[in-house]
Amino acid sequence: MHAVVHHHPGHRTPPPRCCSRGHGRSSVVVRAAAAATVTSTPGAAATAPDSPSAAFWDYNLLFRSQRAESRDPVALRVTEGAIPPDFPAGTYYLAGPGMFADDHGSTVHPLDGHGYLRSFRFGGADDGVEATAHYSARYVETAAKREEHDDAGGASSWQFTHRGPFSVLQGGNRVGNVKVMKNVANTSVLRWGGRVLCLWEGGEPYELDTRTLETIGPFDILGRLAGGTTTDEAARDDDSSEAARHGRRRRPWLQEAGIDVAARLLRPVLSGVFSMPAKRLLAHYKIDTKRNRLLMVACNAEDMLLPRSNFTFYEFEANFALVQTREFVVPDHLMIHDWTFTDSHYVLLGNRIRLDIPGSLLALTGTHPMIAALAVDPSRQSTPVYLLPRSPEADAEASGRDWSVPIEAPSQMWSMHVGNAFEERNARGGINIQLHMSGCSYQWFNFHRMFGYNWQNKKLDPSFMNIAKGREWLPRLVQVSIDLDKRGTCRGCSVLRLSDQWTRPADFPAINPGFANRRNRFVYAGGASGSRRFLPYFPFDSVVKIDVADGSARSWSATGRKFVGEPVFVPTGLSEDDGYVLLVEYAVSDHRCHLVVLDARKIGERDAVVAKLEVPKHLTFPMGFHGFWADE
């Protein structure tokens, strides 16, 4: 495999229009010219069959179920290069779905596939002994998995009884089946306080043994808080009531009272009929490395159906002791997947949604997914950014801004994932906030067809993810900049591409975790090289490294019928790009998975690949979602 570097000389994307708030001043951002000149590596052209049929089957092979587990660690064979001597001892955990098709004719959406945790454990080199890597994988034994999987007598069989929010069942009880909230613990993974947790977007995390990956059980972190005492319990109560007052300023009293009544009626229905928890934790968490805290956020179950959103932020110490809780009521109908924070703020980029009445009726019949009850709301041509004070001191300092009124960032963007966010004091005594993130257009995003799910033919249709739409519609990397004065009033807001040299689709931005929440120079992300005519945009086949300082971009690409997942940075030194980038390469050409180790400094050069480690073919797994690197 050769390294591939993509460069678009002379190509410039015109900057999006900027908005201004507060004092009517426009925000002008000038992007420095890219300093690097990068050339393509010879001989790296795609070798894959280039036809709609080949694209269709390659895409579906990427999401083929894996029924086998690897309970005992398996030594991985190095097929290229070598594990570098300075690679640290630690474990790379990768969460994602493992089971999509049962034995009764049903195929579920990838987002509803049962959680399958993979781990790659590295033993560091020592006294001349070469470093080693071992692989393990096990299903997360959720309540839904135990109900839908029968392993009696060693004869493994699956029958889906829950639809999941994004799926339709072809076999079994279909019409009137209200079993939709299937906690599959498949979205993200975290190691914190000596525990490994697998998270999902609508239920409590599941805890697994850090080494054996055996499921210990649900980790009811919110239930643990209900009966405990926190270090600032009184402040939390005060914050909650103040947040409620702030969040209700923009609505008439009668309208707010009607929403309260609807919420009280919906809660028992959602809990009793659909088995939804009163509060659902989001799958994305954040780690404040400066304060050594874990940050998590939950929203109310009924929020998805009402024009009001309730967010509760939790901050935990290393032993899961609760340090702080802050509650906010936002007068907007939002869907939040990822979020971020700075030293003073929690930051939410709101994706506006609305209740779809016809879709709701179809969803209840079982002929459409339950997510059909919701639709994107493109009525506003901007992106709401909520800057929520992380402390009472931050709230008091921002006396000139009502946090319940969002900053409307220019261009309508569906927020996907955030790589980094930080704030810095400016010359006027205020702060500048900057976000590095990925987003797409509302026109591209589709609840019903994400990943190309097609419940009629039980296959995934890659054409939806690869429709030749406008370039600004597709997932892209952007920089959001917000300028606040000393009273917290917004003086300007802009959204620009993170790099004018990389205009192809990209997502899953990652950075050196040691530079989180401070000014960073480098962002790594999964991207599309465009080498496959019928799979030009997704799945990704590249890792792009963007230098935020000068806008240059360098990339490494897999060749042929290979795709890549989310990159994860493993630091080894003090410099920001001193370390390695880990990612899984999915070679559908021979149905194998490789763990690829890239030298972060050499991305864009021939020798960027430091090592490739082969997962045994019988343990090849489907594409994962989000991972976590844990140093020993």
- Reported as a single tens digit per residue, the pLDDT across 471-481 is 678 999 999 99
Which residues are documented as binding site? 337, 417, 626
C-alpha dist (Å) from residue 143 to 161, 182, 371, 479: 12, 9, 22, 41
Q: What mean pLDDT is reported for the chain?
A: 85
Q: Is the pLDDT of residue 229 over 90?
A: no
Under a CB-based contact definition with an 8 Å cutoff, are residues 222 and 204 in contact? Answer: yes
Residue 239, SS3?
helix
Average pLDDT on 504-531 reads 96
Position 130 scores a pLDDT of 77
Give the tens place of pLDDT for each residue, 12-60: 333 333 333 333 333 323 333 333 333 333 333 344 468 899 999 999 9
Give the tens place of pLDDT for each residue, 549-561: 999 999 999 988 9
What pTM was computed for the model?
0.88
Under a CB-based contact definition with an 8 Å cutoff, are residues 168 and 369 in contact? Answer: yes
Give the tens place of pLDDT for each residue, 301-314: 888 888 889 999 99
Give the tens place of pLDDT for each residue, 151-203: 887 788 999 998 899 999 887 666 677 788 889 999 999 999 999 999 999 88
Select from 603, 505, 610, 499 the least CA-distant residue to 554. Answer: 603
Residue 268, SS3?
helix
Select from 611, 628, 543, 606 the least CA-distant residue to 577. Answer: 543
Position 395 scores a pLDDT of 87
Q: Is the pLDDT of residue 378 over 80?
A: yes
Q: What are phi and psi of 618, to 5 degrees?
A: -70, -10
Better pLDDT: 2 or 550: 550
Q: How far is CA 493 from the centre of its chain?
A: 24
Position 273 scores a pLDDT of 61
Give the tens place of pLDDT for each residue, 565-610: 999 999 999 999 999 999 999 999 899 999 999 999 999 999 999 9
Average pLDDT on 214-221 reads 95
Q: Predicted confidence band at 265 (pLDDT cuts at 50, 70, 90)?
A: low
Better pLDDT: 373 or 118: 118
Which residues are documented as binding site for Fe cation? 337, 417, 626
Give the β-pairing of 407-410 and 414-425.
Answer: unpaired
Position 323 scores a pLDDT of 95
Look at the alpha carbons of 564, 1, 58, 544 in this order and tell me if their dihedral is positive or negative.
positive
Q: Predicted confidence band at 245 (pLDDT cuts at 50, 70, 90)?
A: very low
Under a CB-based contact definition with an 8 Å cutoff, are residues 325 and 297 in contact? Answer: no
What residues are paired with 137 via a beta bridge? Answer: 70, 118
Q: What are phi and psi of 269, to 5 degrees?
A: -65, -50
Position 428 scores a pLDDT of 85
Name the DSSP letter for residue 365: H
Q: Predicted confidence band at 246 (pLDDT cuts at 50, 70, 90)?
A: very low
Position 508 scores a pLDDT of 98
Residue 146, SS3?
helix
Position 427 scores a pLDDT of 87
267-304 residues labelled b (16+ CB within 10 A) or e (exposed)? eeebeeeebbbebbbbbbbbbbeeeebbbbbbbbbbbb
* Other Cβ atoms closer than 10 A to 330: 26
- Among the ranges given (149-153, 292-296, 487-491, 551-555), the one the predictor scored with the smallest mean pLDDT: 149-153
**How many residues in the chain?**
632
String of DSSP letters for 445-479: --GGGGGGEETTTTEE-HHHHT----GGGS-EEEE
Under a CB-based contact definition with an 8 Å cutoff, are residues 450 and 166 in contact? Answer: yes
Select from 436, 91, 421 the least CA-distant residue to 288. Answer: 421
Position 268 scores a pLDDT of 67
Q: Is the pLDDT of residue 541 over 90?
A: yes
Select from 218, 208, 310, 322 the least CA-distant residue to 267. Answer: 310
* Other Cβ atoms closer than 10 A to 374: 21
Position 172 scores a pLDDT of 63
Q: Is 100 left (phi over 0), alpha (psi -120 to 50) or beta?
A: alpha
Please state, in angstroms and rounded to a whole number, the distance separating the CA atoms of residues 263 and 271: 12
Q: Per the structure block, which two tokens stand in for 531?
A: 């080498």
Position 270 scores a pLDDT of 65
Position 360 scores a pLDDT of 86
Position 254 scores a pLDDT of 58
221-242 residues labelled b (16+ CB within 10 A) or e (exposed)? bbeebeeeeeebeeebeebbeb
Better pLDDT: 273 or 94: 94
Average pLDDT on 497-518 reads 96
Portion of the chain with pLDDT greater than 90, in percent = 65
Give the tens place of pLDDT for each residue, 95-117: 999 999 999 989 999 999 999 99
String of DSSP letters for 583-608: EEEEETTTTEEEEEEEEGGGTTSTT-
Give the β-pairing of 568-571 and 340-341.
Answer: unpaired
Q: What are phi and psi of 20, to 5 degrees?
A: -135, 150
Q: What are phi and psi of 258, to 5 degrees?
A: -65, -40
Under a CB-based contact definition with an 8 Å cutoff, are residues 54 and 596 in contact? Answer: no
Torsion of Cα atoms, 558 then 99 then 66 then 283, to 10°: 50
Q: Per the structure block, which two tokens stand in for 49?
A: 């069959």
Please state, in angstroms and rounded to a whole number, the distance separating the CA atoms of residues 602 and 298: 40
Position 95 scores a pLDDT of 98
